Structures are given as C-alpha cells and as structure tokens.
Amino acid sequence: MIQADVKLDTLGYFCPMPIILTSKKIKELTMGQVLEVVSDDEGIKKDMPAWCETTGHQMVGLEEEQSSSKRIYKAFVKKAK
Amino acid sequence: MTTAQIEPTAALAELRDSKAERVTIVLLSGDLDKAMAAFIIATGAAAMGMQVTVFFTFWGLNTIRKKGASSSASDWLRRMFGLLNKGGADTLPLSRFHFWGLGTKMMQVVMRQNRMPGVPELMQMALDLGVRFIACTTTMGLMGITKDTLIDGVDQFAGVTTYLAEAKQGSVNLFI
C-alpha cells in the first residue's frame, strides 16, 4: 500500500483529461511528494507511465481495483522535478 | 472488491524497446482505401525491421472490430449509433465511389484479380510481423465499443500520452 500526500479524483473522465489534470495538480506539490490519481479509464495503465517517462516524474505504483460493477485504477506519481 | 498491484514499468517495456527506427501510424479513418494505405506502410516498415505501432481511433476502430459487432452501450443514443456504425475489416467502405457498396465490391474484385491482399489479410500480416495494435480507450468509451468485440491480437488499450511518447521517438509518424 502506497501512501499518497495528495489525491486527485478523475473518475468519469476519458483521456486526455486524467493526464491534463495530473499535469496541473503536480505543480502544486513539493519535490518528493506523491500524488494519487484515481481514474476509471483503462488507458491510464499505459498513459501514466508514458507521461512520467516523458516528463521526468517518477511512477511509484499502479493499482487496479475491481469491484462488482466497475474497475478503477490508482496511479501513484512522485514529483521528481 | 479486489486490488491488484501492476508493475508500472511493464507498460514502458515496448517504449524502451531497443529497436532504433520507429514508425507510428494513427489510423483515424475507417475507409477501405485509407486503411489499406496504413497497413501497407505498417507491413512494409515492419518488413524493413522497424518497430511499428498503429493507434486506432474513431472510425479507424472499425477495422479492428469483429464483423457485425454493434455497440454494447446501455443508453439508446449510443446504441442507435452502434446500429449505424458497423465494424469489420472486410466491410469497410471506399472513401470515394462507394456507391452503396457497389464501388467497394468492384474494388475488392479488382484487388483480387491483381493478387493484392485485402485489409483483413494485410492486418493479419501486420500482426504476424510484430506490428503493435493499440486501441484508443476514449473513442471506445464514446462509441460503446467493448474489448470483446475487437479482433484477437488487439490487447493494448491506451490514450494520447502513450501515442506521443512513442511518436517522440519515431522517425516516421503518420496520421491517416
């Protein structure tokens, strides 16, 4: 279980909104803090690692939560620059 | 409720793939002629040893949908749309001279006579050559297209960031 400093809810949003909201939110964090992005768009599984790779932030974890009706993803991004 | 941990770097394996030359193709069109161009370039590049990725979005998704697959959306608006927007690589219309299917049939006959593979054959060739197919999750959601209505071989689902991260490393990036 990864401990996040800030949580960002992007449920119901499709790509590219989760990434755009993440790029905005991460500016409010200080170096080393972890942002938890919650999304129900499956694309985030690949998109968030790709975004981190390109921007230089660190992807510290990815969780997939399956409940009866839907599946949500939690991406943990550490501000690294 | 179950929670699974996913290794985030696993998604980057293909991005970090060592092949120097990369080709990315965005297939937005669902027209036979344009899909043909896309797959001819994709198979050609793969045959030349390049790393090829095709991103399917909007009408382009019709090429990787199973034949006759309609929308599985729960709301009537998207279901109506799904009724009109049928999938299947062998039922793609021509972008010009479609003539309610007549022009397309004629084109398919001409292609066969000239021993030119059709879109379904080109697609299979591309998959065999290791071309990666990625479906856009946003348009899938908008159109109510589910994973099980896509052809086998399409197992990757992503969005614009994945495309851009790949295109950044690509020497040939096409939008068709």
- The answer as to whether A1 is a domain residue is no
Q: Residue A27 belongs to what domain range?
A: 6-79
- Average pLDDT of span B119-131: 92
- The answer as to whether A42 is a domain residue is yes
- The answer as to whether A52 is a domain residue is yes
Which of B 99-138 lie inside 8 A of A, CB atoms?
A: 134, 136-138
Q: Rounded distance, CA B174 to CA B158, Å?
A: 18
- The answer as to whether A22 is a domain residue is yes
Domain count, chain A: 1
B80 Cβ neighbours under 8 A, 6+ residues apart: none
Whether B8 sits inside 8 A of A43 (CB atoms) is no
- Average pLDDT of span B5-30: 83
Query: Does residue A71 sit at the B interface (CB-CB below 8 Å)?
Result: no
Question: Percent of chain B having pLDDT more than 90?
Answer: 45
pLDDT given at position B82:
78
pLDDT grade for B144, boundaries at 50, 70 and 90: confident
Of A15, A52, A60, the CB nearest to B137: A15
Q: Which of A31, A40, A38, A41 is nearest to A61 (CA)?
A: A38
Mutate to test the interface with A, among B3, B161, B164 (most CBs of A within 10 A): B161
In the numeric block, the tokens 């004629």 are attached to: B106
Q: Give me the torsion for CA of B158, B160, B161, B166, rounded to 10°.
A: 90
Q: Rounded distance, CA B33 to CA B39, Å?
A: 10
- CATH number, domain containing residue A65: 3.30.110.40
Give me the helices (H) in chain A, please.
Answer: 17-25, 44-55
pLDDT grade for B83, boundaries at 50, 70 and 90: confident
Query: Does residue B74 sit at the A interface (CB-CB below 8 Å)?
Result: no
Give me the helices (H) in chain B, please.
Answer: 32-47, 76-84, 102-113, 119-128, 137-143, 160-168
Query: Does residue A72 sit at the B interface (CB-CB below 8 Å)?
Result: no
Q: Give the number of residues written for chain A.
A: 81
Q: Residue B163 above 90 pLDDT?
A: yes
pLDDT given at position B68:
73
Mutate to test the interface with A, among B61, B162, B166, B168 (most CBs of A within 10 A): B162
Query: Does residue A77 sit at the B interface (CB-CB below 8 Å)?
Result: no
pLDDT grade for B133, boundaries at 50, 70 and 90: very high
pLDDT given at position A51:
92
What strands lie across the sheet with B156-158, from one edge to the other? Answer: B156-158, B132-136, B51-56, B22-27, B172-175
pLDDT given at position B18:
64
pLDDT given at position B57:
95
Of A46, A51, A67, the CB nearest to B1: A67
- Which residue in A has a C-alpha nearest to residue B146's C-alpha? A42
Whether B2 sits inside 8 A of A65 (CB atoms) is yes
- The answer as to whether A33 is a domain residue is yes
Chains A and B: how many Cβ contacts under 8 Å? 103
Q: Which are the catalytic amino acids of A?
A: 15
Q: Rounded distance, CA B37 to CA B33, Å?
A: 6
* Tens digits of residue pLDDT in A20-65: 899 999 999 999 999 999 999 989 999 999 999 889 999 999 999 9
* Tens digits of residue pLDDT in B23-80: 999 999 999 999 999 999 999 999 888 999 999 999 999 999 988 776 777 788 888 8
- Mean model confidence pLDDT for chain B: 87
